[in-house]
Structure 1
Amino acid sequence: MMRNFLKNIGCIVIIVTGIGNQLQAQTDVKLSNFVYTPLVLNPAYAGSSDGYSATALYTSQWVGFDGAPETLIVTGHDRIGLTNLGAGFDVMSDKIGASKENRVVGNIAYHLRLSQNWLLSTGVKLGVNNYAIDYSLLSIENQGEFGNPFGDLSRTSLIFGTGFFLHRENFFLGVAIPNFLTTEYIDDFRNTLANTTPNYFISTGYRFELEREVYFQPTVMTRVAKGAPYSALFSFNLDWKDRIFASANYEHNVTAGAFVGLRITDQIMAGYAYDTAITTFSQYNGGIHSFMINFRAKERYRRDRCGCFTY
């Protein structure tokens, strides 16, 4: 039975990957160190670590440019009592130039034990997204095209997404669509400000134990979306006795970066990541800087619940 189940999972991955070759755009935030904030992409992750965990991540991109993107993400999740349910939230604030995007999302997941070693969870995301633009921060040559553009314009839309997460002690596979809904943001004069389309994410990884309590985990995340090229982000992660963390990531012809983290106390881990564009654009900006802090509940934390590094 387990063999047939895994065969079906493989077919799903192939189908979703194949669809990705025909889809082209990106609307969801791409995280180079996605292993540290999995709940942002996949609601099925909620409750996987069997203990409360909360993470905050701040990212500053294109350093040196006026109005450069800044992103703040806060996530948290836990099991609901002794049930098979997990619940969590992710909050994001994204700013670039005159535009701001804020979202608040709730996540709920159901965890099913398939065998002694394998677990499967499915999850749902539900939330709201607000997109706003401040015309007073723009240099508009012909202001008549926008009527009276001074002030803020704000649009709110719903978020609905889903995903599943298959894992055992040293392996995981996830497929997720953070938002099924397609939304077009327009102003009062029918100008299209932005639009969103579904993004499809497939992530997988395998954890090797190099020596006692020293783990190495290669992972890969593929992303496909209408209007954007197919992409694959590779990440190589090291956990030294749950005290020192390091990783390197690479996306072909896009970015390369590294992360280093330190567990300050049993409950708190903090880290810093730097990514750089591997194109000619890299010479015109200061790269991407990310700062992360994670809190976990010591008394309920169970590392062996999930084949990924649990955050």
Structure 2
Amino acid sequence: MKSLQNFVLSGILILSCFIGHAQSDPKLTNYIFTPLTFNPAYAGSFEGYSASALYTSQWVGFDGAPETLYLSAHSKIGDSNVGLGLDIVSDKVGATKENRALGNFAYHLRLNRTWRLSSGIKVGYANYAIDYRQLSIENPQEFNPSLGDVSNHSFVFGAGFYLHTEDFFVGLSVPNFLTTQYVDEFRNTLASSTPNLFGNIGFQFELDRDVVLQPTALVRVIEGAPISTLYSLNFHWEEKFYANVNFEYDVSVGGFVGFRISDQFMAGYAYDATMGKYSRFNGGIHSLVLTLRAKERYRRGRCGCYTY
């Protein structure tokens, strides 16, 4: 138990060093379908193989509006305590685009018959590019057309924890510890990113034998900005019909509906309406979700987090 205490303490100290920084990672309202993107400790938390794909088009109605594609998959390795996962992110906003390919490693500890603790690390590669030819140049004579596409590369390193039972979970993570600055050949800063801190918590309870309700919250700490909290109330019936509503104060409100079209596949659609002064100028946020849940190879206790 002493070694376990040292293990947990070391991880908390590492994470706490980065609480004060900010980061530009996109935060989707349907984060429950892509938890691996912000917490590597989720890898292997499902007793079988699990994969998900999520496409989101935000701020519909604006030229160059953000489009994001998430692909993720994870599983335990045999009957060991090791979980592995892969997540790929492609984010496009106007003339800029960012692609990431990230590997996740998690180790799961059984604390007692009820509680489990998993810790994880995320390692990968990111590419940020901007196409100057898509920009509206106020003074074209000052523009150097040879610039064209400007591409920058960086590495990603993150870590996280999950403490959970079959009905409850709490997580803490920093998806990327590294501070990155993207510049062009004239040393102009194109974009920059610094670490941020995610915390999530949730529990589930049965309303009836086949009806489950799961309230959750995702908190993000960013330097120089108010703490943002996204609340989600998730519902599923017989693991065939899924729905949720989510809300972030003065930012967005939305919902999701999904159906299990077979034992392995679930498909769904989400819509989020923007709140605040910009709500009149865009058509909201549309998301399409597809998840694959392969049959379990070894029986393991579920995590109270997400097992779509």
- State whether TM-score is above 0.5: yes
Q: Verify: 1:280 aligned to 2:289, yes or no.
A: no
Q: 1:284: Cα distance to partner?
A: 0.5
Aligned match for 2:264, one of 267, 274, 298: 267
Partner of 2:162: 165
AA aligned opposite 2:213: F
Partner of 1:242: 239
Q: 1:145: Cα distance to partner?
A: 5.2
AA aligned opposite 1:196: S
Assess if the C-alpha contact under 8 Å between 2:79 and 2:298 holds in 1: no
Partner of 2:119: 122
Assess if the C-alpha contact under 8 Å between 1:146 and 1:189 holds in 2: no
Within-5 A mapping of 1:48-59: 48-59=45-56
Aligned-pair RMSD on alpha carbons?
Answer: 2.3
Q: 1:303: Cα distance to partner?
A: 8.1
Q: 1:33: Cα distance to partner?
A: 1.3
Assess if the C-alpha contact under 8 Å between 1:176 and 1:202 holds in 2: yes
AA aligned opposite 1:45: Y
Q: 1:229: Cα distance to partner?
A: 2.4
Within-5 A mapping of 1:1-40: 25-40=22-37
Secondary structure in structure 1 of the residue aligned to 2:227:
strand
Q: Deviations over 1:262-285 (max 9, x none)?
A: 000010000111111111211100
Q: 1:143: Cα distance to partner?
A: 4.4
Q: Which runs of 5+ in 2 are unaligned?
A: none
Within-5 A mapping of 1:34-73: 34-73=31-70
Partner of 2:187: 190
Assess if the C-alpha contact under 8 Å between 1:76 and 1:90 holds in 2: yes
AA aligned opposite 2:48: G
Secondary structure in structure 2 of the residue aligned to 1:259:
strand
Task: Give % identity.
Answer: 58
Secondary structure in structure 2 of the residue aligned to 1:245:
strand
Partner of 1:103: 100
TM-score normalised over the length of structure 2 = 0.92
More displaced 10-residue stretch of structure 1: 135-144 or 161-170: 135-144
More displaced 10-residue stretch of structure 1: 26-35 or 202-211: 26-35
Q: Verify: 1:84 aligned to 2:81, yes or no.
A: yes
Structure with greater helix share of residues: 1
Q: Deviations over 1:154-191 (max 9, x none)?
A: 00000000000110010000001000000000111111
Secondary structure in structure 1 of the residue aligned to 2:278:
helix
Q: Deviations over 1:221-274 (max 9, x none)?
A: 100122332101100000111011110111111111101110000100001111
Aligned match for 2:292, one of 288, 291, 295: 295
Q: Verify: 1:175 aligned to 2:172, yes or no.
A: yes
Q: 1:310: Cα distance to partner?
A: 1.2
Number of paired residues? 302
Assess if the C-alpha contact under 8 Å between 1:103 and 1:128 holds in 2: yes
Q: Distance in 1 between matches of 2:254 and 2:146?
A: 39
Q: Which runs of 5+ in 1 are unaligned?
A: none
Secondary structure in structure 2 of the residue aligned to 1:226:
coil
